[in-house]
Amino acid sequence: MDKLYLQKLCNVRLSSINRLYSTTTRTIKYPPSKPPPEKFLHLCSKGRITEAFKTFSSEVYSDPSLVSHLLKSCIQLNSLSLVQQLHSLIITSGFSSTRFVTNHLLNTYLKFGQSQTAHSLFDVMPKKNIMSYNILIGGFVQSGDLDTARKVFDEMPERNIATWNALIAGFTDFECNEEALRLFSEMHVLGFYPDEFTLGSVLRGCAGLKSLTSGQQVHAYAVKTGVQVNVIVGSSLAHMYIKSGSLSEGEKVIKSMPFHTVVAYNTLITGRVQSGSSEEALNQYYIMKMSGFKPDKITFVSILSSCSQLATLGQGQQIHAESIKSGATSSVSVLSSLVSMYSRCGCIQDSLKAFSETKIPDTVLWSSMIAAYGFHGMGKKALDLFNLMEKEELEPNNVTFLSLLYACSHCGLKDKGIEIFHLMKEKYKLEPQLEHYTCLVDLLGRFGHLEEAENVIRTMPVKADSIIWKTLLSACRIYKNADMAKRIGQEVIKVNPNDSASYILLSNIQASAKKWENVSDFRKEMRDRGVKKEPGVSWFEMKNEVHQFCMSDKSHKDSKKIDLYLKKLTLEMKLLGYKPDMGSVLHDMDLEEKEDDLVHHSEKLAIAFALMNTPDCVPIRVMKNLRVCNDCHVAIKYISAIKKREIIVRDASRFHHFKDGECSCGDYW
C-alpha cells in the first residue's frame, strides 16, 4: 500500500497507538455486513492491497469486517510495514471498537512473530472475548513462550475447549509432557469435556513420556466417549502404544479404525522402523501403495530409515525415485534421510549428491552429511564441512557434535576431538549427553588413555549405561589390560547382566591372554543366565536379492563353490605375505583348526560370493552385524589388491573402504 496515501488518511504516528486507543471511546454502529465484493476479494488474494483499498474505500468504511481481508493479504505478502499502516487506519477510523477487526489484527501481529506488540495491543483493546485470549495464547505457544501463555490462561475470566486445547498442545509440542497431563487432569476436574484434539495432544504427551499406564487410561476414556474411532484419536493412540513399546497394541488400534489414512499408515510404518522391524516396515509401505494411498514426506523419511537399517541399496534407490516423482525431495527432512540412507548403504558420493540438491541452510541436513563423512572414516572432510557450517552461521546442535566426535574418534584425531568437545560446551553452551561422553571415552581409549577414560565415566554428570562401559572394555582388550578389564567388566554386567556382548568381550580378553579356564567360567555364566551370543552375520545384495552368510555356514546353495574359491584365494594371499592372525581365534584348538575357522568368517564368505558373481568393475558392498576382526581386516586388504576390486564393508561400528591393498580407516578402525 502507498505509504503517503495512508498517511494522509491516518495522519497519525504508530507510537501514538496506545494513547489513541485510550481516547477512542465512542461506539460506531455499522449497517449489517453484506458479502464482500468479488473484485475486492480478488485484489486482496493477489496482494494488490492499495488498489483494493482505493477502489472500495467506501465499502471498507461502511463494513469494517473487510479489513480482515486486507490483513490476510499482508500476511501473504509478508509485509509487517503494511500491517502497521492498517493498524493506524483501524485506530483513526474507529474500527478498534469492532472486536472482529481487532482480533484479526492481534492474530496478524502474532503471525509475524510480534508477540510483544500483540500483547500491548491486547492490553488496550476496548473489547475482548474468549477468542481474543485464545489468539494471544496460541501466539505465545507458537513462539515457545509457554510461561507467558500460561499467565494469560490463568488471567482469563472464562475459557472454552479451544483454550485448553491450545495450551495442552503447546506443552506437548515443547515436550513439557508432564505439565500437559496435569493440565488435562485439571480440565477434567473443572467439568470441560475433551474433544478429539485434546485427546490427540494428551496421547502425544503419553507417548513422549512412554507412559503406557497413562495412555491406557486415556484410551479407556476415548472408548467410553466413543471417539476412539476418530482418525486423530486412533492415530495418536497407535503412536502412543508404539512409542511405549507395545507395537502389537498399536497395530490393533489401527486395524480397528473404520477407515485408514496416510497418517495411520505412517504411524504403523514408523513404529515398525523404530522397533527394528525394518522388513515389515517395507512390506507395510508396499501395502499402503497398493491400497491407493500416496506416500508423503513423513512416509519417505520413515521408509528410507528402514532401508538404512537393512542397507538395501536397490530398494533405497527405488524409493528415492518415487520420492522424486512425488515432489517430496523438496523437503529437507527427506533429503537428510537420503543422505543417511546412501551413507549407510556404502555410497558416500550419492550422499554428497543428495546433500548438494538444495541450497537451503539447514542444520539437520548439514549434520547428516557430517555424520556420513564420519561413518565412512572421512574425519577431515567432516571437520571441513563443520568449519563451512560455522561460516554460514548455521547453529550446530547436539547431533552435529556427536557426529564430529565420532568422526574424530575413528580417524585418530584425538586432540581435535577433545577440542570439539570443549567447543560444544564453552562456545555453543550445549550440555553433553551420554552419547557425547561415550565418544570421548572411545577417543581416549583408542589412544591408550584408559585411566583418563575411566575417570570421565565416573565423574560425568549423567548416569553411565552398558554401552559406555563396553566402550572402555573394548579399549582394555586392544591394550591387553586384563586387570582393568576385570574391574570394568563388573560394572558392565552390573548395569546390564543379560547383554551377551559384554560376556563375549570379557571372554575374548581372557582368551587373548590364553586363560582358557577363565573363558570357560564366562561362558558357563552366560549359560547359567540364559544369555545367548549373537551370531556373526554378513550379507550382500545382488539384483534386489539379499544373500546372507553365517560363520562356517553350509546352508547357502553355493557353499561348496565358495569354500573352494576361498581356499584358492587364501593361497594367493599367502604368496603375497598374508599370515593368518591366530590371535583372532578365541577358542582353544590346534593351528590347522584355527586357520580353517578364520577362512570361514562370514564377511569372507560374503566377499567370495560377491567376487564370483559380479563384474570386475563393480565395487563390492558387504554388511556385517558385528565388528570386523583383525584377521579379516588384514585379509580384505590383500583381496582388494589381488582382485583389483574396491571392497566396502559396513560393520557394527562404521564403514571400511578397501582399495589397492589399503584401507581408508588406517590403524583406527
Residues 6+ apart with CB under 8 A from 13: none
How far apart are alpha carbons 505 and 582 in whole angstroms? 17
DSSP bridge partners of 623: 539, 650
Cell numbers placing 138: 496460541
Q: Which grid cell sits at 433?
A: 549427553
Q: For the segment 283-342, what is each residue's pLDDT rounded down to a tens digit?
A: 999 999 999 999 999 999 999 999 998 888 889 999 999 999 999 999 999 999 999 999
The Cα-based distances of 104 to 101, 190, 456, 505, 581 in angstroms read: 5, 30, 56, 66, 76
Burial of 386: CB neighbours in 10 Å, binned 0-12, 13-18, 19+: buried
pLDDT-based confidence at 596, cuts 50/70/90?
A: low
Pick the range with the lowest mean pLDDT from 298-302, 327-331, 538-542, 554-558.
554-558
Q: What's the pLDDT score for residue 329?
A: 92
Mean pLDDT score of the chain: 85
Mutual angle of helices 591-599 and 630-642, in 10-degree steps: 60
Packed helices 196-209 and 231-243: angle between N→C axes, nearest 10 degrees = 10
For residue 377, the number of C-alpha atoms closer than 13 Å in the C-beta half-sphere is: 20
Q: Could you give the CA distance from residue 390 to residue 388 in angstroms, rounded to a whole number?
A: 5
In the chain, the percentage of residues whose pLDDT exceeds 90 is 45
For the range 574-579, what are the long-range contacts, defined as Cβ-Cβ under 8 Å and sequence gap of 24 or more? 576/638, 576/641, 576/642, 577/638, 578/634, 578/635, 578/638
- Whole-angstrom Cα distance, residue 113 to residue 511? 64
Q: What is the pTM of this model?
A: 0.74
Task: Answer whether 507's CB lies under 8 Å from 588's CB.
Answer: no
- How many of the other CB atoms lie within 10 Å of CB of 22? 10
Grid cell in block for residue 65: 469486517
Q: How far apart are CA 590 and CA 597, in angstroms?
A: 11
Q: Are 339 and 372 in contact (CB under 8 A)?
A: yes
Q: What is the DSSP string of 204-251?
A: HHHHHHT-HHHHHHHHHHHHHHT-TTSHHHHHHHHHHHHHTT-HHHHH
CB 377 within 8 A of CB 665: yes
pLDDT of 347? 93
Extract the C-alpha cell encoding 458.
Answer: 565416573
pLDDT of 5: 37
Write down the pLDDT at residue 3. Answer: 40
Q: What is the pLDDT of residue 666?
A: 57
In 3-state terms, the chain is what percent helix, strand and coil (to 5)? 70, 5, 30
pLDDT at 593: 55
Beta carbons within 10 angstroms of residue 281's beta carbon: 24
- Asked if the model's pLDDT at residue 490 lies above 60, the reply is yes
In this predicted structure, what is the pLDDT of residue 24? 37
**Could you tell me whether strands 545-550 and 620-624 are parallel, antiparallel, or unpaired per DSSP bridges?**
unpaired
CA–CA distance, 138 with 145 (Å, rounded to integer) = 10
d(CA 293, CA 456): 51
pLDDT tens digits, 641-660: 999 999 999 988 888 999 99
C-alpha cell at 497: 547382566
- Cα distance between residue 302 and residue 284, in whole Å: 11
